Amino acid sequence: MIEQKRMSTTSLEALFQRYKTAGWWILAPRAEGDITTFGEVDSPGDVAAGLIQTTLSPKSAVLPIWEELFRFRRGESGIEVVEAAESSVPTIIFGLRPCDARAFAALDAVFTWDSQDEPYLARRNKVAFVSIACNQADDYCFCTSTGGGPGDTAGSDLLLTGVGDEYLVEVVTERGVELAGIAGELFGPAEGMDKAAHLASVPVRFDLDRLRQVLPKTFDREELWIDQSLRCLGCGACAYVCPTCVCFDIQDEATRHGGARVRCWDSCGFSLFTLHTSGHNPREVQSHRWRQRVMHKFAYMPERLQVLGCVGCGRCSRACPVDMNLAEHLAVIAESGE
């Protein structure tokens, strides 16, 4: 049972101070020129206001765009390897949207399904989520088509919904109880607050069950995939803004003294992503790469990891230089018959 409380919006300042005193770092949407990303904030005044969705996702808090896995150097007795020092601090991601909060389940599934990815988990275990429900959406949002919604609590520790000049605070998890406890006196009883009336309406763009039925049977329908992907440029924009994309590339960066093994984001949309040393490329054309992107998120992940690889945040479609609208393409597939 999710406990509900109320909090005045003016108490945010005090809430932030309480969390900082308790040793939490706070990451929240920040404006950087015309774009918004998650960055460290001191007070609610630093948080970018009025946005529907940030340009970049909060994924980098647990999977940075590049990270050192370990360092190596020439020592007295040969090559010495030193594990990267664990440096993450307890972090609250504040003001992320319900779709983003749900995205971490997809990341978790990938980084724990066979081996436990230590660098990932070291950060992941120190992150808590204080999300804010959406009271507005745009043409690109399609959370409701992927099992989520503008007021969805899944994945959040606390979910705040703006109700007039107050927040309805939902305490979703054990960690949420802890987070609410740190600032107990800021909260009151939530009677009489109507959450539903303060949520954005996000139309369902496609029938997810139908899509999941049809999709696995479309693998060989070359014409469908060519039709959808002809304008795709094969860049990494969609993957790099996506909160659930996990592909990475391993690089060794070194001088003759030593260096580091580094993990960097990568994208299945790149033509070189699957290129073999032999010169053979199993996904030789963009249609196969686009198919992979769609299949991975909506067929392979649910099948193998029991979680959808997309939360409908719409970032990929906002960022795409040629307006490849994912929801639109999924609707076409779902309605295309088997």
Partner 1 sequence: MTGLQDAARDLLQSGEAAVVIGFGGGSAGGARPLMVRDPTSVGDLIFDDRCVHNLAVYLLKPEVKSLGKPAIVGTQAVLRSILQLASEQQVKDRDVIALIPEADGGVRRLETLGEIEGAVSKPDAVLSPEEQNCLDEIASLSREERWRFWQEEFSRCLKCYACRAACPMCYCSQCIVEVNQPQWIPVPAHPLGNMGWHLVRAMHLAGRCVNCGECARACPVDIPLNLLNQVIEKEVAEQFGGKAGLSATASYALSTFTTDDKDTFIR
Partner 2 sequence: MAEFEPKVTAFVCTWCTYAGADLTGTSRIKYASNVRVLRVPCTGRIDFMYVLQAFTQGADGIIISGCHPADCHYTSGNYHARRRWIVLRALLDFVGVDTRRIHFAWVSAAEGAKWADLVNSVVSNVRELGPYDEYRQTIPAHIRPGGIAV
Q: Provide the binding-site residues for partner 2, judged by CB under 8 A.
A: 68, 71, 73, 80, 82, 253-255, 257-260
Instruction: Draw the binding track, 154-173, toward partner 1 (x: CB under 8 A; -: no contact).
Output: --------------------
Chosen from ligand SF4, partner 1, partner 2, none, partner binding at 283 (C-beta under 5 to 8 Å by type): none
The interface partner of residue 310, options being partner 2, partner 1, ligand SF4, none and the CB cut-off 5 to 8 Å by kind, is ligand SF4
Integer Cα distance of 134 and 150 in angstroms: 5
Per-residue binding string, partner 1, 312-331, x by CB under 8 A, is -----x-x-xxx-x--x---
Contact pattern from residue 100 through residue 139 relative to partner 1, giving x for each residue in contact according to CB under 8 A and a dash for the rest? --------------------------------------xx
Count of other CB atoms within 10 angstroms of residue 136: 14
Q: Which of helix, strand or coil describes residue 104?
A: helix
Nearer to partner 1, 36 or 146 (CB): 36
Which residues on neighbouring strands pair with residue 90, listed in sequence order?
none
242 binds, among ligand SF4, partner 2, partner 1, none (CB under 5 to 8 A by kind): ligand SF4
Strand, coil or helix: 37: strand
Token pair 């606390």 is found at: 158
C-beta of 29 vs 119, nearer to partner 2? 119
Asked if 211 and 298 touch (Cβ cutoff 8 Å), the reply is yes
Least Å distance between CB 143 and ligand SF4?
9
CB of 325 to partner 1, least distance (A): 5
Assess 322 for contact with ligand SF4 (CB under 6 A): yes
* 54 binding partner 1? (CB under 8 A): no
Number of residues assigned to the chain: 338
Q: What is the CA radius of gyration of the chain?
A: 21
Say if CB 30 and CB 288 are below 8 A apart: no
Q: Which of 289, 283, 294 is nearest to 328 (CA)?
A: 294
Q: Does 269 bind ligand SF4 (CB under 6 A)?
A: yes
Residue pointed to by tokens 């991975």: 296
Residue closer to partner 1 by CB (options 6, 205) is: 205
End-to-end CA distance of the chain: 40
β-pairing verdict for 25-32 and 35-40: antiparallel
Nearer to partner 2, 256 or 280 (CB): 256
CA distance 162 to 211: 33
CA–CA separation, 148 and 84 (whole Å): 36
Residues in contact with partner 1 by the rule CB under 8 A: 32-35, 37, 55-56, 65-66, 138-140, 226, 229-231, 233-237, 239-241, 249, 251, 253, 262, 264-265, 267, 270, 272, 285-287, 317, 319, 321-323, 325, 328
Residues interacting with ligand SF4, by CB under 6 A?
232-235, 237-238, 241-244, 269, 297, 310-316, 319-322, 324, 326
